[in-house]
């Protein structure tokens, strides 16, 4: 009898092992049944596994939200890194093209004091 139950549990665990959440739900349901079987207060027996499951889901949701914020930060960082460079390159190129014109370079305080290359 015990061997059969252990074998059954092993098979179920083996089948559910790729899905962590399903495995967790199975083990928590088994835990609740055992607690009820042991005549523990039924509110406690059901409340403990429920609380554990809800904590797991909350944590997973917070993890997803954190990943989104990290990605947003990554994008902002990439934009900040490249914007300044592009503005400087553009200003240089435009200054080369418009010969004689004094084009101010963004983020370059010396640009306004530069003399135009050709008059």
State the residues that interact with another protein by CB under 8 A: 1, 4-5, 32, 36-37, 42-43, 45-47, 49-50, 53-54, 57-58, 60-61, 64-65, 67-68, 71-72, 74-76, 78-80, 82-83, 85-87, 89-90, 93-94, 96-98
Q: Which residues neighbour 79 within 8 Å (Cβ) at sequence distance 6 or greater?
A: none
Structure tokens that stand for 37 in this block:
């079987």
Query: Minimum distance from CB of 18 to another protein (Å)?
Result: 19
Closest CB to another protein among 11 and 82?
A: 82
Distance of CA 84 to the CA centre of its chain: 28
Output the smallest distance, CB 58 to another protein, in A: 6
CB of 115 to another protein, least distance (A): 21
For residue 64 the two structure tokens come to 């997803």
CA–CA separation, 61 and 23 (whole Å):
18
Q: Which of 30, 34, 69, 35 is nearest to 53 (CA)?
A: 30
CB of 14 to another protein, least distance (A): 20
């Amino acid at each position: 009898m015990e061997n059969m139950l252990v074998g059954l549990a092993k098979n179920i665990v083996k089948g559910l092992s790729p899905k962590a959440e399903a495995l967790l739900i199975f083990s928590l349901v088994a835990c609740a049944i055992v607690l009820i079987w042991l005549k523990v207060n039924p509110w406690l027996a059901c409340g403990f596994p429920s609380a554990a499951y809800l904590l797991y889901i909350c944590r997973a949701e917070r993890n997803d939200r954190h990943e989104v914020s990290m990605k947003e930060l990554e994008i902002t960082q990439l934009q900040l890194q490249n914007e300044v460079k592009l503005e400087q390159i553009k200003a240089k190129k435009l200054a080369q093209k418009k010969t004689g014109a004094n084009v101010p370079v963004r983020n370059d305080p010396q640009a306004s004091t530069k003399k135009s290359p050709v008059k």
